[in-house]
Amino acid sequence: MTPFTRTATAAAAALALLGAPAQAFDISAMSDAEREAFGEQVREYILANPELILEAVDLLEERQQQAEAARDDVLVADNLEELQNDGYSWVGGNPDGDITLVEFMDYRCGYCRRAAPEVEKLLESDGNIRLVIKEFPILGEASVLSSRFAVATKQVAGDDAYKQVHDALIAFGGEPNEVALRRLAEGLSLDADPIFARMDSEEVTAELRQTRELAQKMAISGTPTFVLGTELLRGYLPADQMEIMVAEIREKQS
């Protein structure tokens, strides 16, 4: 908060104490002498009540959070169909679940790795949640290579193979170069050659580009980012908190 904002907030409080309606306050209508006198009153009030600044900061942050939440609600509503049914993202959990959880993720993201078992825990404990994975590599070339490998696997070998590769890449601690990825494929009994042949294809590029464009429309710049039902969740969230949100969503739907 700038000094001017703090002063203006305090000024409104001072006016209330002095009996003047806040909506009538117009410092531009004051003479220089009136502004100087008023400024001194505000200064004295703030010095006598310094806690007012903290209260004003808290109020401003609360209003900003409310504005951001309202903006996120609009973003989700405007893009809900593409979020939940884009026609190319991998779908897991219960495909017929009553609530859809969308995750934008990056294999090199530490919080995505922390979130992975929490998501699995939620799916196992609930049994009625549909999961949509959005490949959103934003942490450098290693992230892009990993996502290309995963998407190519899905396009070449199908959804089950993708899930195996996805789980392996989330847990992978080494450098995802061609040698390492070939070994990973072989360890999962997958034929690496057609996967590598597809990795730089326009089909894979198009899928990653569409997800990136969706993320831009949604003002998503970090991972993991979740959309649970119609709630946009920016960042890591443990399973128990997601379970509470799921219960609240179902209560609203009932």
Same domain, 97 and 149: yes
Residues 124 and 223 in one domain: yes
Q: Where is the domain boundary, 57, 76, 95?
A: 76
User: Which tens digit of pLDDT belongs to each residue from 87-122?
Assistant: 999 999 999 999 999 999 999 999 999 999 999 999
92 DSSP assignment: E
Encoded amino acid at 75, one letter: L
Q: What is the pLDDT of residue 25?
A: 59
The verdict on 54 and 145 lying in the same domain is: no
Domain containing 227 equals 78-253
Residues 133 and 157 in one domain: yes
pLDDT band at 2 (very low <50, low <70, confident <90, very high): very low
If asked whether residues 72 and 109 sit together in one domain, one would say no
Q: Does 55 share its domain with 94?
A: no
| pLDDT score, position 122 | 97
Q: Which residue has the higher pLDDT, 211 or 34?
A: 211
Q: Name the residue type at position 2.
A: T
At residue 163 the predicted structure's pLDDT band, cuts being 50, 70 and 90, is: very high
Residue labelled with tokens 């010095």: 47
Cβ count within 10 A of residue 79: 16
- Tell me which of 23, 43, 76 is where a domain ends: 76
Q: State whether 24 and 143 are in the same domain.
A: no
The residue among 50, 76, 102 that closes a domain is: 76
pLDDT mean over 167-172: 97
Write out the E strands in 123-218: 129-135
Number of domains in the chain: 2
Q: Is the same domain home to 89 and 70?
A: no
Burial 156-177 (b: 16+ CB within 10 A, else e): bbeeebbbbbbebbbebeeebe
* Stretch 203-217: mean pLDDT: 98
Examine the domain organization and report whether 47 and 132 are in the same domain: no
- Statement to judge: residues 87 and 66 lie in one domain: no
Which CATH number does the domain housing residue 243 bear?
A: 3.40.30.10
Q: Are residues 69 and 15 in the same domain?
A: yes
CA 239 to CA 241: how far, in whole Å?
5
Average pLDDT value for residue range 58-81: 84
Q: What is the 3-state secondary structure (H, E, C) of 9-75?
A: HHHHHHHHHHCCCHHHCCHHHCCHHHHHHHHHHHHHHHHHCCHHHHHHHHHHHHHHHHHHHHHHHHH
- The answer on 204 and 162 residing in a single domain is yes
